[in-house]
Amino acid sequence: MIVFSRGTALVLGLLVALVATPLAASLINFGLDGIAMLLPIVVILELVLYFGFTLFSSPRATLGNSMTVAILFFLVRLAACMAAFIPASGLVDEASFAGLWAGNPVSVALQVLLLMSLGGHALAHLAPGFLPADVLARLGGGSESRVSRDANPRPQASPHSSSAAGGFVQVFSYEELSGTLRKTQGLEGFVIYSNEGLVVWRDLPMRIEVDSVVAKVMSLTDQFNAVMDGSGLTRVRRVMVESKEHFLFTTPLNSNFGLMMLFNSGTSTEEILARIAFVSKTTREFLQWKYPALPLVTGLSQDRNPMLVD
């Protein structure tokens, strides 16, 4: 018995299906007349479809990355049709490469559907660097083959260095941080921002203007603090906003960074408050390791967010 890993088996199965689909369609002997005139249209529509699908699959997908994936999918289908043409030319007298590639709408649709549904899994196995971290997390791929792109050297740690200790998990890259925090029940995404309002890292599935939201929340926090100071009360420690579908929490991590968390509305406030301490401490410990030269003050200070964090 030949044993393959799950990722390798998926890639091989995808390639076989991509070749078998146009080959089977050629045996049916169904095609469109004047297909040569339609080839430019097919190329454009196919690239646009792949590009749009990749771009809107992740909030962090870039134009360059999406175009690269689109061209890659296009070339893979083109190569599959070339491979199918070799046996088809011996089985069907009037077989043509153009007919296999774009002459059968059903065959084209099936190949495109296969690439859009399974191509991401294949990329996660073969080249995880093509995909954003949140897409990799949803696909569940790249954990074995991914190489950390963190510029800082990973320290040698004991076998228990990544286990929960003292209410947090030690991580060594933003990708690992996303993977760890995503396991928090009810947490749909988070944003790390600097005390100047600049987004340092974001892992949000929704397409929202994160920079604008962070700036406005920080401005509102300053206004709240002014009200509290004017009333003789202590300053704000956390901000919570409840909407119909979400809870939005912001909390300072230290004098340099803050954390914004988005929980779904199905999570109770008590559960959220119990999990914020873990999420905050895990993030704060990572930032302290990531940026050791920055003074990470967790107590009261004269910064714009001088708030104590649990």
What is the pLDDT averaged over residues 70-76? Answer: 89
**Per-residue confidence (pLDDT) for residue 193, from 0 to 100:** 93
d(CA 75, CA 80): 8
Mean residue pLDDT of the chain comes to 76
Where does the pLDDT of residue 211 fall: very low under 50, low under 70, confident under 90, or very high at 90 and above?
A: confident
**Per-residue confidence (pLDDT) for residue 220, from 0 to 100:** 85
**Burial status of residue 41 (CB atoms within 10 A of its CB: 0-12, 13-18, 19 or more):** exposed
User: Residues in the chain, how many?
Assistant: 310
Give the HSE-up count for residue 98: Cα atoms under 13 Å, Cβ half-sphere: 12
Q: Are 58 and 135 in contact (CB under 8 A)?
A: yes
Closest residue by Cα to residue 304 from 219, 234, 233, 246: 219
- Local structure of residue 103 (DSSP, 8 states): I
Choose between 52 and 147: higher pLDDT: 52
Is the pLDDT reported for residue 210 higher than 60? yes
The pLDDT tens digits for 171-200 are 888 888 988 898 888 888 899 999 888 999
**Per-residue confidence (pLDDT) for residue 283, from 0 to 100:** 92
Neighbouring-strand partners of residue 201: 192
